Structure 1
Amino acid sequence: MIKKINQHSLGIYLVILAMACVQSGTAIAKFLFPVLGPAGTVSLRLGIASLLLLIIFKVKIVGRNRFDYAWCLLYGLCLAGMNLSFYYAIKFIPMALGTTIEFTGPLALAIILSRKYQDFIWAGLAGLGIALITPWSNTNGIHLGGIALAALAGTFWVGYILCGKLVSQKMKSIDAVALGMGFAFLLVLPFGLNDGFVEKLNIKWLLLGVCVALLSSAIPFSLDMRAFKNLSSKTYSILMSLHPALAALSGFIFLGERLNLIQTLAVLSVIIASIGSAITSKK
């Protein structure tokens, strides 16, 4: 029993660490947008991350079961769609707002999978935090296309959660991450080439791309695949409520965005919801 509880807690810590890496990497990635474009940045990030994982962990690429390739392709499709649509979204709207809208996908999944009344309380509290952190009073200046793209990213996020849970049970986690990320890179590469990111690369942007790749892809997705083994899709989805709070924090640290009182209350709201879901969820 103690082992199960410890493994469950480890899964929670891994998810939180993964989210912190993602938001830090996203904030840094925005510096690449003016030069490489959103698609170019995603291509560079996924390409470097997949290459590092394949080499470091000596992942077997050829000679696998065809079903392994099929699952990894589906997993890669979710990764590609989630990242590409989100990067294009935050090109037009603030990072915290994009993350908030994107989160509606996992939050909806958490409610659908909920089987205890406490889960609706935590999901509702997280939803309140999202509502508070969203700048509703500034809707006239919000790009509608950016909002739609963020919502699309949330849809792909749901697929990522469900597919990642299945893939982690069918093959070695790190293999699934490396191969899935490789497929994701191939899927987004045409968009990146259209942005002309290859011609614009130099040592400075390449090194920054390595940093983004580690923070936004290689490290967090590896942590997620490990966490999937210890957490239910429901618990994982509600824990994702920390993303808007961490996005706001990263925005403050890297982009100089400051939180007002309402936004601070929003951060506290989603943190309480996440802690509550972790305490009351089934192991």
Structure 2
Amino acid sequence: MPSSTAARLIPFLLVLGSILSLSVGSSLAKELLFPLIGATGTTALRTGFSAIVLLLLWRPWRASITRREYHFIALYGLTLGMMNLCFYLALDSIPFGLAVAIEFVGPLTVTVLYSRKISDFIWIALAVAGVLLLLPLRGNDSGLPLTGVLFALAAAFCWALYIVFGKTISHLHSGQTVAVGLVFASMVTLPVGMMDAGAILAHPYLLAMGLLIALLSSSLPMTLEMAALKRLPHKAFGIMVSMEPAVAALVAFFMLSETLTPTQIIAVVFSITAGMGSAMTARGRVDTLVT
């Protein structure tokens, strides 16, 4: 393969690998851990092990971080914890692909606010239209529980705040920032997940599963994304990441036997189109920071 072709293909494979890893990890969590320790216990294992792995990998205690920067890292991390908790609670009752599609409203809203181009409001309107198709309203066939949709919207709101707080510390090393942020995230998820501590102790293999899911859902995707961002313009990266709802739906179909209705498929297409359109037209640099 010519080197120029390989140079173009490698970033795409890195982003695809990140999305696939995240989708497989979340699907495994839903299939294997949710029935035993619930969404809250699974979230606690994911964030806790992710924090341990990334602390060992990036060793942030060697970095020179000021008290003010720690303040924003704490806000960033606490928001990250709430985002993961709300997303897994949504995943407990609605299909994976739809939860991702709804969650994408968060970063899209931030992109529009930072861009301030009138055309970008088209994309957020398209994403909102997709969410409306998924609400259990009279006349549509979404068949989704309102609670699950609301948890996904809460995760979207947290993702938006997570990006805003992340931009305030974007000058720091991203790996070290996420590692410390996950410590604060665990302060949110561990107390809630402790309600399932008895089940975890009764099934020690759950700890190994939790570590695997942490690696697949957080550590590996983040590492692949960082490698991709070094090789791609942010606009191209944003377009590729917009395919996540479709990949999540496909992985969930094969791993969880989750199927979507025609209305739900249209909603996912709206989300993908909004994400790609936003990435192509937005001004400036807005990180999506998927973890």
TM-score, structure 2 length as denominator?
Answer: 0.75
Match of 1:176 in 2: 177
Counterpart CA distance in 2 for 1:162 and 1:23 is 24
CA RMSD of aligned residues (A): 3.6
**SS state at 1:92 partner:** coil
Match of 1:27 in 2: 27
Correspondences of 1:12-91 after superposition (within 5 Å): 17-31=17-31, 32-60=33-61, 64-91=65-92
Question: Shift in Å at residue 67 of structure 1?
Answer: 2.4
One-letter amino acid of the counterpart of residue 166, structure 1? T
Match of 1:208 in 2: 209
Give percent identity, aligned residues only.
38
CA displacement 1:28-61 (0-9 Å, x = unmatched): 1102011122111111111111111111233317
Counterpart CA distance in 2 for 1:161 and 1:238 is 17
Correspondences of 1:108-187 after superposition (within 5 Å): 108-127=109-128, 137-138=140-141, 141-169=143-171, 171-187=172-188
**SS state at 2:189 partner:** helix
Counterpart CA distance in 2 for 1:240 and 1:56 is 25
Contact preservation (8 Å) 2:18, 2:225 = yes
CA displacement 1:86-113 (0-9 Å, x = unmatched): 1112212232332233222223223333
Contact preservation (8 Å) 2:239, 2:280 = no
Contact preservation (8 Å) 2:141, 2:261 = no
Moved more, 149-158 or 240-249: 240-249
Question: Shift in Å at residue 259 of structure 1?
Answer: 4.9
Contact preservation (8 Å) 1:85, 1:152 = yes
**SS state at 2:170 partner:** helix
Query: Closer, same or farther in 2 for the Cα pair 1:11/1:76, shift >3 Å?
Result: farther
CA displacement 1:249-271 (0-9 Å, x = unmatched): 22112112245666555555544
CA displacement 1:135-179 (0-9 Å, x = unmatched): 86345x53322222221111111011112222221x211110111
Query: Closer, same or farther in 2 for the Cα pair 1:46/1:78, shift >3 Å?
Result: same
Counterpart CA distance in 2 for 1:145 and 1:134 is 10
Counterpart CA distance in 2 for 1:55 and 1:278 is 34
Query: Closer, same or farther in 2 for the Cα pair 1:157/1:226, shift >3 Å?
Result: farther
Contact preservation (8 Å) 1:40, 1:193 = yes
Contact preservation (8 Å) 1:126, 1:269 = yes
Query: Closer, same or farther in 2 for the Cα pair 1:13/1:110, shift >3 Å?
Result: farther
Match of 1:194 in 2: 195
**SS state at 1:142 partner:** coil
Contact preservation (8 Å) 2:101, 2:268 = no
One-letter amino acid of the counterpart of residue 150, structure 2? A
Counterpart CA distance in 1 for 2:41 and 2:122 is 40
Aligned length: 272
Moved more, 212-221 or 52-61: 52-61
Correspondences of 1:241-256 after superposition (within 5 Å): 241-256=242-257
One-letter amino acid of the counterpart of residue 213, structure 1? A
Question: Shift in Å at residue 199 of structure 1?
Answer: 1.6
One-letter amino acid of the counterpart of residue 212, structure 2? C
**SS state at 2:60 partner:** coil
Counterpart CA distance in 2 for 1:101 and 1:270 is 8
One-letter amino acid of the counterpart of residue 189, structure 1? L
Query: Closer, same or farther in 2 for the Cα pair 1:239/1:187, shift >3 Å?
Result: same
One-letter amino acid of the counterpart of residue 109, structure 1? V
Question: Shift in Å at residue 273 of structure 1?
Answer: 4.4
Where do 5+ consecutive residues of structure 1 fail to align? 1-8
CA displacement 1:55-95 (0-9 Å, x = unmatched): 12333179843223222211110110001111112212232
One-letter amino acid of the counterpart of residue 21, structure 1? S
